[in-house]
Amino acid sequence: PLQTVFKEAAMSRPTASVRPDPHAEITALILADLETGVRPWTRPWTTQGAVSRPLRHDGQPYHGANVLTLWVRAARCGYARPVWMTFRQALALGGAVRKGEKGAPVVYAAPVVTADDRDEETQACRGGRFLKRYMVFNLDQIEGLDDRYPQPARPDVAERIDHAERYFAATGADILAGGDTACYRPDADAVHMPAFEAFQDPEAYYAVLAHELIHWTGHPSRLDRDLTLGRFGDEAYAREELVAELGAAFVCADLGLTLEPRPDHAAYIASWLRVLRNDTRFIVAAAAHAERAAKLLAEKQPPP
């Protein structure tokens, strides 16, 4: 009978308790690296080309938590290319995923559908969203596409640094040089940086500057994030510092710069571990805040 068919179909659907939780999966992935003392966002490079965000098959960059997920997978598997695509996208482009290769999960925000939501416009107005996942494969896992995606050439170091100078100057931030501390002062709305010569190399300087400018985006006149950090080690402090870390990683990847680890990274890792263990959703939220901050800095750049 039809009633029996519906009953069996309902029984075959995964319950909420056994469905994959994308928030928990992403958090577990990041925690696994942090627990070994490794910050996965400090390795956003390809071994044979320029530093980059992960890219879709059409060259568009991934954003938010997907950047972290794909950076981690690339580092663990030794993938040297920044391009990722689905199984079907590879076939459509004339390639094929090698037999036995395992994909990496990425997510997108889909609208929450309820009995009252009869159309997409109603869902959009209500603003309900949840994460849905799908699998992508790195270009190193795919045959037949090398002609379409040639190996990127790593740019000249001097050229990249000049580009970074122009980028940070275009933000319009008040950047004060001198002293031995890098910090953002919300009361004065100013970034304080040690002298350029005090850093081990240029990329270390720009990585720290990017970190402080992500804090700068949180000012009430800009993104209005909560910058009442409290003391080092507090949960609020750890949360904003994680946003700044991820934002700096995104900015450095967009500029083709390696994100250098901070000398005090071990202490930060301990505080981030506490936050992420207590809140499996925070890494996704932190990545979203970081993405908005990086976007704000990018929007201040002059047109090409």
Bridge partners (DSSP) listed for residue 261: none
3-state helix, strand, coil in the chain (%, to 5): 45, 10, 40
What's the pLDDT band for 230 if we cut at 50, 70, 90? low
Residue from 75, 65, 64, 67 nearest 33 by CA: 75
Give the long-range contacts of residues 28-37, CB within 8 A, separation 24 or more: 29/68, 29/69, 29/72, 30/68, 30/72, 30/276, 30/283, 31/273, 31/276, 31/277, 33/72, 34/269, 34/272, 34/273, 34/276, 35/273, 37/266, 37/269
Q: What is the rounded average pLDDT of the residues 188-194? A: 92
User: In this model, does residue 89 exceed pLDDT 70?
Assistant: yes
Chain centroid to Cα 288, Å, comes to 8
Give Cα separations from 46 to 80, 93, 109 (angstroms).
5, 22, 28
pLDDT tens-digit series, residues 98-138: 999 999 999 987 765 554 444 433 333 344 566 788 999 99
pTM over 0.95: no
In the prediction, which pLDDT does 44 show? 44
pLDDT tens-digit series, residues 126-170: 445 667 889 999 999 999 998 999 876 655 555 568 999 999 999
- Chain mean pLDDT for the chain: 81
